[in-house]
Every structure is written in C-alpha cells, then in structure tokens.
Structure 1
Amino acid sequence: MSGRVLVGYLPDERGDDALELARLVADADGSPLTVACIYPPPWPVPGPGRVDAEWLGHVRGYARSAVEQARDRLAGRMPAERVRTATGAHRGSGRGLIETAEREGADLIVIGSAPGGPAGRIVVGSTADQLLHGSPVPVLMAPRGYAAGPPARLSGLTVAHRPSRGSELGLAAALRLARRLDVPIRLLTLLERPSWLSGVLRGEEIMRRQREYAVRDLQAAAELLSGHAQVTTQVAEGDGIEGAVRNCHWPPGELLACMSGSHGPLRQVFLGGVSGKIVRAAPCPVALLPGTAGRAGGAA
C-alpha cells in the first residue's frame, strides 16, 4: 500500500469529480483517503467581534458539512475505516491543501477542474495554479463531468515524454504511480506539425527525421522502465499539441502523466508551456509529477 490520498472537496460538480477519481486511486492499492475542505479565514483587518465570530462559525460549519457530505457519498463504496476528513482555514485553497497534505502524510493530491470549461476537459484555476507551483507531491486533476460516467477501474498510465534535463527522475515518478495503480505504461511523444512546414522544401523529410529521433528516445526511455511488466511506446503527430493529443486513442480508465516544467522550483510541481497545452487538450485525468519525485528510488 502506498501513502494516503488527499482530495480537495467542495459540495459541487468539481468536488464530486475529484472525489470519484480519488476513490479509484485509493481502491487500486487500498490506500487511505482524506477528504479536505479549505475555507477562508476572517479578513485580517479587525472588525466587530460578533461579525467575525459569525463569519468564522458559518465557514467552519460549511466546511464540516461538505466533508461529511463527501463521506456519505463514499458510504458503501469504500470502507469507512479508510476514510477520514479534515478542514482548515487558509487564504489560498491550493496552499491550504499542501499544508493539509503535509499534516496528513499524503503523497498524492486530487482536485477537480475549475468551473467554466467544456465537459471532459480540465481548466486550471487558482487552486490548481497554487498546487502546481508549490506542491512537493504529485497533483492529479479530474476533468469536468468525470463523476457522471467514471470507469470501473483505472486501466493505464500514458506518460507524455520528451527528453530533457531530469527526465529520468520524472520517469521514476511515473513508474511509481503505475506500480501503485497496477496499470501498464504507455510512453507517448507528441510531435507538432507546424503549419509552415507544408511550404518548406523537403518538409516531409524533416518530419520523418523527427519521428526517427522520437522513436529512439522512446526506446531509451522504455529501457529505463524495463522492470515494469508492460511498457509500450507511441509517437503521435498532429497540427499542434492539441491535434496530436486528438490523434491518440484514450481508452476508459486511462490517466495521462506530465512531467514538471524544467524551470520549476526544486522538488515542486511546475506547469511548463508544453505541459499546459497537454493538460488543456487531455480528454482524461492528468497527473502533474514533481521534477525530483522518485530521486531515491531510481527508475528501475
């Protein structure tokens, strides 16, 4: 069994999406689950004591009600002894979840998409932004509407791979996640076909070489994961990252893992430019992995 799963919960669609995904992750290896609701503290400028007390009582009650609602939703689907709840005040919900994860000993944080995006896609809001720039543990995001038609179980982990400084450490983190979920790994490289390439002499030759480079890189990465039972590789090509993602098959139960941006803070998740495009285009849950996760264990 791996460490505890922490899910950020609000009593709305995004909370239900995150809760369903967190349950699937916890069920994969019997991990315990903490449902957390972060509420805002009183405004720092002193006001009438009665008003501050009423406000604090209201938001505390809201948070307690939210996590109990989540517990009720899990009743009969997950053993009660594996579920606990946590509430806390913080001016940033993402930073509050990071602090809660540290207190709870969680090694994975799960959240839902911010409101306003299309069904089946992920929008990075303020909570996710704080997590992705500050979390020392992987962050898993559920697309909008995930709870409406969840898979029976998680079935595979696709790892968006491109060779870069520290990519071996990212592969190690992906390997640990795949082992935790007991799923096969697909190493995926996304090739963008620039619009200007069609007018360039020997444009197809350029793309052919890019494919050959990508295949070699994927083969080298797969060798680092040789201890895992099932590893496949794929090169997907399209007009931009979004087009390449659309040209991939995404079976039910699939997760997509992206590596930390190479300029992110040490030991923290950081959403780089390419990773950001992948997150927005992905039709499945996405895990953002910290750049130094797995340092101790290596990739084997």
Structure 2
Amino acid sequence: MKIDQILAGFIPGGRGQDGLRLAVLLARQTGARLTVGHVHVPAWPTPGPGRIDAEWRTYVAEQAAHTLEQARNAMADVRDVPVEYVSAAHRGSGRGLVQLAGRIGADVVVVGSAPGGGRGRIRIGSTADQLLHTSPVPVALAPRGYGEERPPGIERLTVAYRRDPASDEAVRQAFALAARTGASLRLITIVLSGGRPAKVEEEMLGRLRERVAADLEEISRRHGDVQVEVNVLEGRNVATALSRIDCEDSILICASSETGPLRRVFLGDTSLKIIRSAPCPVMMLPRNPPKKSGSAGKHEKP
C-alpha cells in the first residue's frame, strides 16, 4: 500500500481533532506528507441583488480561513510531519473531499466519526457516507474520542478476512503497509453463530481455522517476513465477535464489497457492521480491478 500523501478532512470540534490525530499517526509512521482540508459551502451559482452576493462570498471565505486556523492551532504540537492547509467549495463535504483528494494526489482520506455515536466507536454521517461510496482511494475513519486518547502509534494492522479476491488484495496491501510502518499484522475472520448444534458448530470452526491458516501461510510466503497472528472470532453478531480481541493501538483494514464498482470504496452489509462495531480506527479499501494473468493477483476476479 502506497501512502505518500494523506488528506485529513477537518471541521471544528472533536471529530475534526479525532481525524487529525489518526492522520498524524499514519503520516508519522509512513513518512507521508499531510494535507488538512476543509470543504465549505460554495458561493451562490448566480449573482444576488446588490452587494449580497459579494458579502456572502466574503463571509464564506472568512469562515473557511477561520476553520483552517483552528486546524493549525490543533496541530501546533506536531513538528515532525510536513503539513499543508487547503479549503475547497462543494455542496457535499464527502464529495468535496474526494475531489480534493484527486487534486492533491492523496493516497488515503482520513475523517472522524459523526456526532452522536458512542465513545470509542464510529458513527457514519453524511460526509463519511459519501466517501465510503465514492472514494477511489482508501478511507480511514477515527472513532469518537480518538484525538483525546492520543495513542503513541499504530502498533498492529488487523485485516478482516473473508477468503475472496478483494480480501486477498487487502492482505497484500496490509503486508506492504506493515513492512513500511513496522507494525505487526493480524488476520481475523468473523464467524456468526447460527444456533447450530455445538458439535456441528465446532467442526465448522475447526475447518475454517485450518483453511484460514493455510491461506495466510501461502500469502506470507509471497509477501515477505512480517509477524502474523491469526484469529477466528465467533459471536452471534459482529459486535460480539470483535469484542473478543484487543484492538488497542490497532487499525482495522477492510476490503470493499465485490458487488461495488471498480476503483471505488463500496460498503457491504458486513463491512458496515464492522465499522459500527470496531473499537479502533477502520480503513476501507477501494475495490481494485483484477490483476493480469500471471501476476501475484492472478486469482482475483471482478
């Protein structure tokens, strides 16, 4: 995974701080440049009467400048990461961030949780929803309160694995990011209990553990020497399953649904539940086109 340029979407308040903190950690560990971006409402498309249009434009510009000044103040203690501050106009904040990411060549977009969610959890608001259905680059979401916790770094990458081409690509990218950041790597598979008899359930879990371990061993041989941990998480729902692992100082990486468009992040039902239940930041990867035959991704399909 190449992360040379990070875009952090900023708005005043706690969620802006949460996104900034995650973006700084990613930039610090990857050596990436960081751009803090604010998307503001556009000026009226048609001139207004008298001086109203000019006054509105001035007001919007002043508010955008004030917001970026708040971002600078929030980043006053960050001296080891190169940071730029930009603003852009768009009617949709998420779509505006997508356009801004394309303009600056961002490799990942980082935002905080929407208001109203529980502490330590991610709530998807309109900005994140637009990003998670349109972004051509990974989208990282910081849980509520992440900026206050100030974790020292991302020590572990956790990949939600479901044994399909999209997840294989997510593991490949996670290996590359782990090698670059020095983080360890963990592969998890979530198994939801369906009320089957205990013996049948245990037999299914046993086969799944063996299959996941074999898959990871093959991937490990292809992608280098990185410390790897494998966990099969069982529960009646995604939240219960995820509660069985320690996610402190970790970021959870998920692949997009295979039913979504190519080169876009696209949420499936399970991915949405993982985002809402994860007690740590989550990074959603876009769905990439299949590799050409003979490449490392030859088993992928659209």
Structure 2 length normalisation: TM-score? 0.90
- Give me the whole-angstrom Cα distance separating, in 2, the residues matched to 1:232 and 1:294: 27
Partner of residue 224 from structure 1, selected from 201, 219, 230:
219
Structure 1: any 5+ residue segments left out of the alignment? 198-202
SS of the residue 1:111 aligns to: strand
Q: In structure 1, give the amino acid aligned to 2:70.
A: Q
> For residue 284 of structure 1, what is the aligned residue in structure 2?
280
1:61 equivalent to 2:62? Answer yes
- Give me the whole-angstrom Cα distance separating, in 2, the residues matched to 1:30 and 1:6: 14
Q: In structure 1, give the amino acid aligned to 2:237.
A: G
Structural mapping, 1:169-248, within 5 Å: 169-194=169-194, 196-197=195-196, 203-219=197-213, 220-226=215-221, 227-248=224-245
Q: In structure 1, give the amino acid aligned to 2:199.
A: E
Q: In structure 2, give the amino acid aligned to 1:225.
A: S
Residues 121 and 144, structure 2, Cα contact 8 Å, conserved in 1: yes
Displacement of 1:48? 2.3
Q: In structure 2, give the amino acid aligned to 1:223.
A: E
SS of the residue 1:54 aligns to: helix
User: How many residues align structurally?
Assistant: 291
Residues 169 and 294, structure 1, Cα contact 8 Å, conserved in 2: no
SS of the residue 2:28 aligns to: helix
Residues 111 and 140, structure 2, Cα contact 8 Å, conserved in 1: yes
Residues 170 and 253, structure 2, Cα contact 8 Å, conserved in 1: no
Structure 2: any 5+ residue segments left out of the alignment? 298-302
Residues 178 and 226, structure 2, Cα contact 8 Å, conserved in 1: no
Residues 173 and 293, structure 1, Cα contact 8 Å, conserved in 2: no
Shift of the 293–50 alpha-carbon distance from structure 1 to 2, 3 Å rule, reads: farther
Q: Deviations over 1:153-193 (max 9, x none)?
A: 11101101111243322222222332343211100011111
Residues 138 and 285, structure 2, Cα contact 8 Å, conserved in 1: yes
Displacement of 1:78? 2.5
> For residue 47 of structure 1, what is the aligned residue in structure 2?
48
Q: Deviations over 1:53-102 (max 9, x none)?
A: 2222222222222222222322242247x110110001111111111111
Displacement of 1:228? 3.8
- Give me the whole-angstrom Cα distance separating, in 2, the residues matched to 1:293 and 1:258: 16
SS of the residue 2:162 aligns to: coil
Structural mapping, 1:101-116, within 5 Å: 101-116=101-116
1:250 equivalent to 2:244? Answer no
Shift of the 50–295 alpha-carbon distance from structure 1 to 2, 3 Å rule, reads: farther
Partner of residue 269 from structure 1, selected from 254, 258, 265:
265
Residues 176 and 294, structure 1, Cα contact 8 Å, conserved in 2: no
SS of the residue 1:10 aligns to: coil
Residues 262 and 289, structure 2, Cα contact 8 Å, conserved in 1: no
Shift of the 91–211 alpha-carbon distance from structure 1 to 2, 3 Å rule, reads: same
Q: In structure 1, give the amino acid aligned to 2:71.
A: A
Displacement of 1:298? 4.5
SS of the residue 2:107 aligns to: strand
Query: Which structure 1 residue ranges, 4+ long, deviate > 3 Å from structure 2?
Result: 43-47, 293-299
The alignment yields a C-alpha RMSD, in angstroms, of 2.1
> For residue 156 of structure 2, what is the aligned residue in structure 1?
156
Residues 166 and 256, structure 2, Cα contact 8 Å, conserved in 1: no
Residues 172 and 294, structure 1, Cα contact 8 Å, conserved in 2: no
Structural mapping, 1:24-43, within 5 Å: 24-43=25-44
Residues 179 and 226, structure 2, Cα contact 8 Å, conserved in 1: no
Residues 38 and 97, structure 1, Cα contact 8 Å, conserved in 2: yes
Q: In structure 2, give the amino acid aligned to 1:122.
A: I
Shift of the 58–214 alpha-carbon distance from structure 1 to 2, 3 Å rule, reads: farther
Structure 1 length normalisation: TM-score? 0.90
- Give me the whole-angstrom Cα distance separating, in 2, the residues matched to 1:20 and 1:77: 10
Residues 222 and 231, structure 1, Cα contact 8 Å, conserved in 2: no
Displacement of 1:258? 1.0
Residues 170 and 290, structure 1, Cα contact 8 Å, conserved in 2: no
> For residue 16 of structure 2, what is the aligned residue in structure 1?
15
